[in-house]
Amino acid sequence: MASSVMQTTYQKRGGNVYREASDDLADQLGSIIDASVSVRIFYSSHPTKTGKTGVNSSMQQPLRTPPPLVSPQKTACQAMKDNRCCWTRGKVLGGSSVLNTMLYIRGNKRDFDVWRALGNPGWGYEDVLPYFRKSEDQRNPYLARNKRQHGTGGLLQVQDAPYLTPLGVSFLQAGEEMGYDIVDVNGEQQTGFGFFQFTMRRGARCSSSKAFLRPVRNRKNLHVALFAHVTRVILDPETRRALGVEFIRNGKVQQVFATREVILSAGAIGTPHLLMLSGIGPRENLERVGVPVFHDAPGVGQNLQDHIAVGGLVFRIDQPVSVIMNRLVNLNSALRYAVTEDGPLTSSIGLEAVGFISTKYANQSDDWPDIEFMLTSASTPSDGGDQVRKAHGLKDEFYEDMFSSINNQDVFGVFPMMLRPKSRGFIRLQSKNPLRYPLLYHNYLTHPDDVGVLREGVKAAIAFGETQAMKRFGSRFHSKQVPNCRHLPEFTDEYWDCAIRQYTMTIYHMSGTAKMGPQDDPWAVVDPKLRVYGVKGLRVIDASIMPRITSGNINAPVIMIGEKGADLIKELWLQKHFRRGKRQQFGNETEQQQQQQGAGNETIVAVDSVTFTANETIPTS
């Protein structure tokens, strides 16, 4: 430890969304000059409990805390209890990659070129593509032949679904009927239809903790503390530097200090929350709740983006080929999974194929789709109302009205997801008490363009169900009118504009709340090196740095951010290490304070209330 290049404290406050960058980051930093770097990670979470039992997202029961209450708004989620969108959180090693549907979607090339054009050099598509390849272990030999787009041998295994229903191929055929190509959606062209690619290994979930942390759990320079809730970053007002973090563990307030850097990877909710609790955020909000202002950063908590989709677009079919829970869970399927590691128990809530399409609001001749179809061999009523209605927070009366008549019947679902929302939400402190949730305002569908794009996505989904490929199964739209919209003529634009505000589904892709941007951008929180403006020795590496959300599911881009963030850190400190032949110090005052606290030379990573401390190792389960 005394010879560390840097001691990293990594805060991982175990319930926030999309902080998988942390696990990759810890792996990469811990490998610097063998064991010369000490990495401490703080989790308020449990060890990972999902492995063989964490395969089917509709079946698993992940460790959860009560979700933060999203402020009710009239623009969306009117079918949910209390008119609140349900933002689920899971406290577990691996973060949301232990709870998600394992979809591996990188996004569109232009997403990253737009990041670069917004004043972020080094973040264009050609800059980030090597980091996607670096972590990937693509198991489809046909896709792996494309060495430019795909990598093999990385720690994150990516494979096709081990099990498909007869609907899977028909989904692609229906896409062709609509005029789209069959494509590798992580390849040269995004527009089109293809099978989903999953972060799975031998038929089971390959979370970020399984991929990146588990292989290095015995490293002497990696220290993980579970059940450690980070409450703030310790800041020096004289040097304007981050010194370490404060956390609560076993009912005691403790502190740990870093020689080099403090890294926040607490996710798009946890990171701005921690920044504001530390005095870094909008002055007005901080002063209102009594937090001393260290640095007035108006962009902290702003720019909140999320992908939303319309739920309840259910198509009934006549053939017994879909995923129905009471037909899926039986002894035969369990034995098949145990012996061959495939079969229906490997299904991720029936997700089989994906389509990237362009509505009338997009340029039809350009590879820049604005809607993603998530195509499933199941839908909301496929479990008889047991789990999905609860996960989505649906009102009982809404579910009974809309779906009780088709419980456990053969159906498929189309979930049109808007790829580039223009609506922006925000996060605010409601108290200086770090154990209270922040105020969350999604602002879904507050921009009129979002309403138009999502409406056209719904109309395209209805057309998808009318293709001959789907009619072979007897496909027919479950066209029961949505409550609150029955005063409007069905299938009109006015009706759909109303309907999309009822069963509004978050896809749990919260991002953008600590925006990356140039120094002249008043809303930028971090620079292109991911360093927080106005504070030395503090970085953010998670989904919150996205200037604009990527066009697709964000698990893969967040892992890429972790890969690139690790290189940015190594680039700085290894360069200084080799040039000067010794470690760089934050300053005499910082070093003396760390020695008094017994901190050593570390980098602290804050992962949504997770703290890595000495004398602890990562659990193997």
How confident is the model over 313-359, as pLDDT tens digits? 999 999 999 999 888 888 888 999 888 888 889 999 899 999 999 99
Alpha carbon of 435 to those of 33, 119, 275, 537, 540: distances in Å?
38, 36, 14, 25, 21
Identified catalytic residue from 150, 229, 273, 509? 509
- In the annotated binding site for FAD, the residues are 92, 230
User: Residue 584: its pLDDT value, please?
Assistant: 45
Q: What's the rounded mean pLDDT across residues 404-420?
A: 97
Residue 585 pLDDT greater than 50, yes or no: no
> pLDDT confidence of 41, banded at 50, 70, 90?
confident
- Per the confidence metrics, is the pTM higher than 0.75? yes
User: Residue 221: its pLDDT value, please?
Assistant: 87
Q: Where are the alpha helices (DSSP H) in 248-293?
A: 267-277, 283-289
* Of 228 and 411, the one with more pLDDT: 411
Q: Which amino acid is at 175?
A: G
> pLDDT confidence of 67, banded at 50, 70, 90?
low
- In the annotated binding site, the residues are 92, 230
> pLDDT confidence of 593, banded at 50, 70, 90?
very low
Alpha carbon of 602 to those of 57, 183, 262, 314: distances in Å?
37, 45, 9, 53
* Nearest partner of 501 among 489, 479, 483, judged by Cα: 483
> pLDDT confidence of 88, banded at 50, 70, 90?
confident
Residue 260 pLDDT greater than 70, yes or no: yes
Catalytic site includes residue 509: yes
DSSP 176: H
User: Residue 14: its pLDDT value, please?
Assistant: 41
Half-sphere exposure for 461 (CA within 13 Å, toward CB): 33
How confident is the model over 517-545, as pLDDT tens digits? 999 999 999 999 999 999 999 999 999 99
Q: What structural domains and CATH numbers belong to the chain?
A: 21-45+91-161+209-305+508-576 (3.50.50.60), 162-195+307-424+445-507 (3.30.410.40)
Weakest-pLDDT range from 225-229, 272-276, 513-517, 538-542? 225-229
How confident is the model over 199-223, as pLDDT tens digits? 999 889 999 999 999 999 888 888 8
Q: What DSSP element (H or E) covers 561?
A: helix 555-580
User: Residue 96: its pLDDT value, please?
Assistant: 86
